């Protein structure tokens, strides 16, 4: 896939996002045949966005997440600055078709990790982290049947990145906790409570962060200081609808919440 085709595919997907419409698949001439081509399409989102990217998301870090979008491993996507909201925000529900919210650990980087030949180790990546935040991701896709199009097209569609609530910074005690065993509770007010643990995120959210650093490195991208990485859902995604209030309780680390508009 050449740069012109990658750009055309990105512009087409961005138009469907703006208009709240869906497509069955990218047209054959613009369809990525590999993860690398999917990332090449995704890379054009920066130029189409109103601001520099705020960070990165990881899709499908849990078995439930993989099953939800029909893949067998994680995918990386960009967190667009205009789609990042503060704790307690009211989000437009709009044309969201996935209709789920996900409770996630999000790491803020204090030092950049540039591409290199040797893989980054967990300890090395954690040493570059400046803070842990509590977060809720609200994914979506522009494919009519997002579970059937495959990893390359999902990556092109920004790995289902949509809206994101960056909650409060966790107290420094997080560094001494076993995040794999840490319990997280998700609530949709008045009708749903669901529990999970950090181990649902590639065995440990810190493993997921390291996977992201190495995935970006392999594709020539730098994980930059100041960027946020949200590592994937700790629990089976919470089904949501217009007007819902959603909260994620991380116990001693704190709590974050959002509300959806009524329409």
Helix (H/G/I), strand (E/B), else coil: 223: strand
With a cut of 80, say whether residue 80 has pLDDT above it: yes
pLDDT tens string 96-129: 999 999 999 999 999 999 999 999 999 999 999 9
The whole-number pLDDT of residue 263 equals 73
The whole-number pLDDT of residue 48 equals 79
- Burial status of residue 72 (CB atoms within 10 A of its CB: 0-12, 13-18, 19 or more): exposed
Going by the DSSP 8-state scheme, the letter that residue 204 receives in this structure is S
Locate 75 and state its tokens. Answer: 């995918």
pLDDT tens string 170-188: 999 999 999 999 999 999 9
The whole-number pLDDT of residue 176 equals 97
Complete DSSP assignment for 89-158: PEEP-TT-SS-EEEEEEEEEESS-B---SSPPPHHHHHHTEEEEEEEEEE---SBTTTTTS-HHHHHHTG
Q: Shortest CA distance to 202 belongs to which of 218, 217, 187, 213?
A: 213
The whole-number pLDDT of residue 68 equals 82
Mean residue pLDDT of the chain comes to: 96
Q: Shortest CA distance to 107 belongs to which of 35, 45, 179?
A: 179
């Amino acid at each position: 896939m050449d740069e012109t085709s990658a750009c055309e595919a990105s512009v087409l997907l961005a138009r469907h996002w703006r208009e709240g419409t869906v497509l069955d698949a990218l047209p054959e001439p613009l369809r990525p045949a590999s993860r690398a081509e999917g990332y090449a399409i995704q890379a054009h989102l920066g130029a189409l966005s109103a601001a520099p990217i705020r960070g990165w998301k990881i899709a499908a870090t849990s078995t439930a997440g993989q099953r939800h979008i029909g893949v067998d491993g994680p995918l990386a996507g960009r967190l667009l600055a205009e789609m990042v909201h503060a704790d307690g925000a009211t989000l437009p529900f709009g044309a969201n078709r996935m209709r789920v919210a996900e409770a996630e650990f999000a790491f803020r980087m204090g030092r950049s990790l540039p591409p290199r030949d040797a893989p980054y180790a967990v300890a090395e990546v954690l040493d570059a982290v400046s803070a842990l935040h509590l977060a809720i991701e609200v994914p979506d896709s522009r494919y009519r049947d997002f579970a059937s199009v495959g990893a390359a097209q999902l990556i092109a569609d920004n790995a289902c990145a949509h809206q994101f609530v960056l909650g409060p910074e966790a107290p420094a005690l997080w560094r001494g906790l076993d995040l794999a065993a840490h319990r997280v509770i998700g609530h949709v007010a008045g009708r749903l409570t669901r529990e999970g643990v950090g181990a649902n995120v590639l065995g440990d959210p810190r493993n997921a962060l390291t996977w992201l650093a190495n995935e970006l490195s392999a594709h020539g991208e730098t994980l930059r200081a100041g960027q946020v990485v949200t590592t994937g859902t700790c629990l089976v995604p919470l089904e949501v609808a217009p007007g819902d209030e959603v909260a994620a309780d991380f116990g001693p680390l704190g709590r974050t919440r959002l509300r959806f508009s009524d329409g």
